[in-house]
Structures are given as structure tokens and as C-alpha cells.
Amino acid sequence: MPAADSSLRGRVAARLDTYRGRLLELSHALQDDPEISFAEARAAERLAVLLEDAGFTVNRAVCDLPTALTAEYGSGDLTIGVCAEYDALPEIGHACGHNIICAAGAGAAIALAPVADELGCRVKLLGTPAEEEGGGKVLMLERGAFDDVTVAMMVHPFPVDITDPRGSSNAVGRFEVTFTGRASHAAAAPEGGLNAADAAVVAQVAVGQLRQQLRDGYRVSGIVRLGGERTNIIPERSVLEYEVRTPTGEELTDLRERVLNCFRGAALATGTTVAVRQIQPDYLDLRHDPALMTSYARNLRATGREVPEPGPVPQGTGGSTDMGNVTHALPAIHPGLGVLGARGMPHTRQFAEETASPAADDAVLDGALAMAWTGLDLASDAEWRARCVTARHG
């Protein structure tokens, strides 16, 4: 997998530099105006307008998702997909840096566009909503948005660069649990009630005891959304939200069933009933394509970054992403992109403050260029390209 011709690499870099200001403007605009999952209307429109101005054909509200989009440029047997996320977190905004992901993805697609026709390939940016909750990529994958994509890439901000092809994320399943009991006066007639809040407490104790027997790498976490309305009323209804995580998707089903048994047992113990609703599609573990990740790591170093070589132990993230499902369906990568020197980890207020910093701006541009050069390497390497096209499209 040799690097592409230096003149082509120079043209890609020059194109990115032309859009430098608009890409950073996009990143900062999203950071200043966070929108949660499936409500990213302004973010999606900002991205769409930028891509249209760059000559892309943009399709809005694809896959029956109002804030999803695709943008295409060029034609050929090879389609290089770039994923852009743009949803934020409740209360703490872009503490996961999706503004950086969006701007870097747009930059990679725009930088590749001028050489796409020359190399006989197509660039397709996929605007993927609701990564934080909702599984936008899973829905788009199921509804055909990735069917014509040969390979896919995106970057995700962290305090350091992570380019270990063996690294992964956890699979995750999220569900809502509702206990229903019977209301009664807590002082005058407590014996007439069936306490849904007690059911929630019993379930949480059972889950806590279960944790002692779980394998390393298994995680169970949850919150109580509703535990009653008034102290003088036996709570008739309680609502909890839980998630289970395992190193692989294959392990997820067993752990989820063990946790659900805790809720079923709590209902039996308290005389209440229990209902379970899946909140989003299951997210699978990441399985990076080694060739793509090797090329990306080399190209990230070429931007001037000191990217560490993979150590003896695979470097993962501990989190979960719907990009994992994409990596199970086609060759794809999801490297960590360092916001170098950042305080805190993603999903903290400290990290949210870093996502429009000078280091974050550097991450946008370096990540965009590394992805664009990786796409260029693939399009220019006849053997690698043919192998990917044949494996994916027949």
C-alpha cells in the first residue's frame, strides 16, 4: 500500500487549505449551537450548504431520517465513504467532539473531490445523526445508504491519537424498564399499594450483586428516570434506563438476559409488573480494516503528528459507537484523533470546553487531510483497490 503520487497529495492538501476557514467555521458553529440526537436540523443544514457550495450533489432527509443526508461527487467503481456525526449531548453540549468529526469529515470529502473523476472514483459523505442515542448509522445501514460504499472512514476526537488496528470499542444495548404497581395513600392505607419504586430499588440491588460475577470488560450502568411523584402516595410507576456493554456483540445477548432477570425478579418480589423497551439498535464492537488503518496512521504522521506505534496490548476506547455496525458490514475505520493537550475525556465538561480550541482546530484539519490522503492511496493502488471493489461489490 504505497503512498499516492506526491503531486496528487499536494493538490488534495491545497484544496483542503482553500476550505480551511469554512471548515473551522462549521466546527465552531456546531460547538456554539449543540443539538441532541435526531434534532440536529441546523447542523445538518450547515453541513449540506457547505458541501453544495463545494460542488457536491446533496440529498437531505435520506433513509426517512429528517437530519440524515448524503453528498456525492465523482463517479467510478470505487466509492469512498466518509461519515460525519453532528449530534451533541444533553446539558454538556459537544463534549464528545462531534463538531470536530463533522468538520473533519466534510474536509476529507471536499479535499478528495478535485481528483475523484481523474482517479475514476466517487466520494460519498454520509451525514449520520443520533450516534449518542438512536443509532443513526445502524438505521442508515439497514435502509441502504451504505450499499454502494466500498470503504468507510471517520475520526473521533480523544486527548491522544489512537491508530491501533487491533483496538476496538464495546458493544452496547440500551433499554428502558417500567414497573407498574398500584397507588395508595402512603400513611392511611399503605397495605393497599404495590410499590413500583421499591421494585426499582430491588432491581438495582440485584444488578449490583450481579456485577461481582461479571467478566472483566463487562459493564452495566443505569439511571432512574421516575421514582414516584409525591411522598404521601405509594408510587404506581417507576422508570429506569439501563445499558449493558460487552467486548463483542456476541456476548451482549447473554449479559442483557442476566440483567433483565434482575428486573423480572424485582417485579415478582414486589407484586408489580414490568415492561422492557429497547431504546435503540444494538451497537456492535469496532473491527477496523487493517490496511485502511495502516494507511491512515502513515498519513496522519505525514501531517507532522507524532503518532505512537501500536504497543503489545491492543489500544481500545472503552466506549461504544454505531460505527461498529458499519465495520461489520464493510471495510471501515474509526481512529481516535487527538485534541492534543486536552483536559478530561469525552463526555465531560472539561472536554466540551476543548472542542473549539486551537488544538481542536488542528485536529479538524489534520484528521481531514489524513483521511483524504488515505482515500487517495486506495484509489491510486490498483491491486488494493481491485481487492476492495471485488470483495464489496463482486
SS (H, E, C) 288-317: CCHHHHHHHHHHHHHCCCCCCCCCCCCCCC
Classify the phi-psi angles of 360: left when phi > 0, otherwise alpha if psi is within -120 to 50, otherwise beta: alpha
268-285 confidence digits (pLDDT tens): 999 999 999 999 999 999
Q: Is residue 1 part of a domain?
A: no
- Statement: residue 2 has pLDDT above 80: no
Percent of the chain residues past pLDDT 90, beyond the cut: 94
Same domain assignment for residues 348 and 291: yes
Q: Are residues 63 and 159 in the same domain?
A: yes
Are 31 and 141 part of one and the same domain?
yes
Q: Please check whether residue 344 is in contact with residue 351, taking contact to mean a CB–CB distance below 8 angstroms.
A: yes
Helices 358-380 and 382-393: angle between axes, nearest 10 degrees:
90
Range of the domain at 114: 6-169+284-393
Instruction: Give, as one character, the DSSP assignment of residue 367.
Output: H
| 245 located within any domain | yes
The string of pLDDT tens digits covering residues 238-261 is 999 999 999 999 999 999 999 999
180 and 135 in one domain? no
- Domain identity same for 23 and 139: yes
Answer yes or no: is pLDDT of 151 > 70. yes
78 and 25 part of one domain: yes
Question: How far apart, in whole angstroms, are the C-alpha atoms of residue 206 and residue 231?
Answer: 24
Considering the entire predicted model, what is its pTM?
0.95
How far CA 61 is from CA of 154, 279, 387, in Å, comes to 21, 22, 33
| Structural domains in the chain (count) | 2
Q: What is the pLDDT, as a whole number, of residue 317?
A: 67
Q: Are 58 and 70 in contact (CB under 8 A)?
A: yes
Q: Give the distance, in angstroms, between the CA of residue 35 and the centroid of all CA atoms in the same chain.
A: 15
pLDDT in tens, 27-61: 999 999 999 999 999 999 999 999 999 999 999 99
Whether 165 shows a pLDDT value over 90: the answer reads yes
**pLDDT exceeds cutoff 70 at 316:** no
* Same domain assignment for residues 227 and 272: yes
Residue-wise pLDDT for 183-207, tens only, equals: 999 999 999 999 999 999 999 999 9
Final residue belonging to a domain, choices 228, 257, 278: 278
Judge if 306 and 269 occupy the same domain.
Answer: no
